[in-house]
Copies of this chain bind each other. A is one copy, B any other.
Amino acid sequence: MTRVRVNAYSISVDGFGAGTEQSLANPLGVRGEELHGWAFATRTFRTMFGEEGGSVGIDEGFAARSMEGLGAWIMGRNMFAHSRGDWSDDGWKGWWGDTPPYHCPVFVLTHYARAPIEMNGGTVFHFVTDGAEEALRLAREAAGDRDIRIGGGAATIREYLTLGAIDEAHLAISPVVLGKGEPLFAGLDLPALGYTVGQQVLGENATHIVLTKQ
């Protein structure tokens, strides 16, 4: 049975999921990388980016589970690219090189049509211009009985939470304050949408919160 999941989505204590002014130099916005320190330190993420070692404790447990059992991803256009508006012919194929860490279909929400891009290792980027619900329908078709992960950013996660489509959301609160950026909770009434906190665990470098849907 397919579950729709958010995993390892990092936020600051003051609730921002990314910094301001995303750019080629700052894929996660200004200071956005600081939100992900806990993840970068884990064995799972280090392996993903071709490095050795990494932590093997609580944070690693959440990192490892974040990549398990996935049959499709959905992400907002700004998680795929720092560009805005119509796609230019700049050859951009995402932030992740020739072999992205997804290894399955990835549905990118965008207002601008674009042909799919097939990458090494099983990742295919599909560009969906018909909205979040259509992307979810396509992801369900693609995922079979595996899970669907909503990658981000904050606006995309808010949209699927608002639709009540997310079964479980793992957030990692990093010990930083950003002051400005992409607010995850803005305008979201999570209890009204059926969500409660199912779990709170302190890892080595972040507090892990799992929201579950009733």
The interface of chain A, by Cβ under 8 A from chain B, is: 13-15, 31, 171, 173, 175-180, 185, 188-193, 195-197, 199-202, 207, 209, 211
User: In the complex, what residues of B have CB within 8 A of residue A195's CB?
Assistant: 177
**Whole-angstrom distance between the alpha carbons of A196 and B202 in the complex?**
19
Partner of A177, one of B14, B175, B178, B191: B191
| B176, A173: Cβ atoms closer than 8 Å | no
| B177, A211: Cβ atoms closer than 8 Å | yes
| A200, B175: Cβ atoms closer than 8 Å | yes
Counting every copy of the chain, the complex holds: 2
Task: Pull 16 A–B residue pairs with CB atoms less than 8 Å apart, ordered by A.
Answer: A13-B211, A14-B15, A15-B15, A15-B185, A173-B173, A175-B200, A175-B209, A176-B196, A177-B190, A177-B196, A177-B197, A179-B188, A179-B191, A179-B192, A201-B202, A207-B207
Chain A interface, >50% SS class = loop
**Whole-angstrom distance between the alpha carbons of A201 and B211 in the complex?**
20
Partner of A179, one of B171, B189, B199, B209: B189
Please provide the 3 A-B residue pairs with the shortest distance between their CB atoms, ordered closest to farther: A202-B202, A179-B189, A175-B200
Which residue on B lies nearest to A31, using beta carbons? B191
**Whole-angstrom distance between the alpha carbons of A202 and B200 in the complex?**
9
